[in-house]
Amino acid sequence: MLLGINPLVLGGRGACFAAQAIVTAPVIFSTAAGTGGPLLYNGTATDHTGVTAYLLAVSYALTTASTVSGAIGITGGTTTAPSSTTAIDSTANLHIGGQASKCTAYRIGTVSTAGTFFIPTGHVHTGAVTVDTDDDNWVHLGGVIAVPPGAFAAVSASATLTTAVMQVGLMWMELPNA
């Protein structure tokens, strides 16, 4: 539970969202260009009309092997609105039929400042996907990563995962700033 709030209740109230991106060669977290997969940007106001997004979970599947091994994880930082963005593959309110997210999800984009941290959530190896022994690629984040207005969070890598193609999901909830 985050701040004593059960995400299941928030899902029922239409405050939980998900985005899915198909990403080729996820970039290292320390670069600003081509960040994401998904990239979640909070461009809302800091007053009562805005929200803070809290990351709930990340999921991923490797569909084309990487020629570079590394970790997949979460990065984030402050930024102006991302540029050179690519549309997200899918995004939705997890309360089916609910309102759209106040934050914006992109497949990738260029942020004004590279991520300031990297939290690994899994590994990506160079083995063929036909013999992959990977287990569940669902990581519960519990809302501990907050994305306030003027900030971003993105799935990224510990090294640019050359040739990798990944299906990546990111789930978050939004709470009013007031």
pLDDT of 146: 97
CA dist 94 and 17 (Å) reads 5
- Token pair, residue 8, equals 């299941």
Who contacts 55 (Cβ-Cβ below 8 Å, separation ≥6)? 40, 74, 141, 143, 144, 145, 147, 153, 170, 171, 172
- Is the distance from CB of 31 to CB of 126 less than 8 angstroms? no
pLDDT of 125: 86
- Token pair, residue 38, equals 């998904």
Q: What predicted TM-score, i.e. pTM, was given to this entire model?
A: 0.91
Q: CB atoms < 10 A from the CB of 67, how many? A: 10
State the burial class of residue 165 (Cβ atoms within 10 Å of its Cβ: 0-12, 13-18, 19+). Answer: middle
Residues of the chain with pLDDT under 50: none
DSSP H helices in 44-153: none
3-state percent helix, strand, coil for the chain, nearest multiple of 5: 5, 50, 45
